[in-house]
Amino acid sequence: MRTLLLLIPFLALIMPLSISAQSEEPIYVVVDKMPEFPGGPNGLGNFIRSNQSYPREALDAKIQGVVIASFIVEKDGKVSKPTIVSGIGHGCDEEVIRLIKMMPVWKPGMKDGKEVRVKLNIPVEFKLG
């Protein structure tokens, strides 16, 4: 018990060091050069149109609308952490997450001449007919 009491102040001293060592690099929203999908905005639109699938549940319920998703373009251009900002449900939100996860590598964003992590939002439209 006495050993444990002696260790507590020591643990309190090293704990902040281990927490700060685990912190991630900052995520930017605006940078000098924004990330770019291969082929630019047209390439992104073509990618979504050619890979998007209308969920059966949304078709049956005649659901239309726009899903807004957020994700991070990492320093190496890979996408990570896709999340739904504004969804319409009925399988459409999951479809947008699937599309983001299958995206190719982007050209990363740049700030002060260095590659940085950048958070982006994209709208994906689901429209019948």
Q: 């996860």: which residue's tokens?
A: 101
Q: Which CATH number fits domain 25-126: 3.30.2420.10, 3.90.740.10, 3.40.50.10420, 1.10.150.530?
A: 3.30.2420.10
pTM of the model: 0.81
Sorted by where each begins, the domain ranges of the chain are 25-126
CA distances from 50 to 47, 56, 70, 124 (A): 5, 17, 20, 13
**Is-contact 87 93, C-beta < 8 A?**
yes
Alpha-carbon gap, residue 62 to 86, rounded angstroms: 18
Residue-wise pLDDT for 19-77, tens only, equals: 333 357 999 999 999 999 999 999 999 999 999 999 999 999 999 999 999 999 999 99
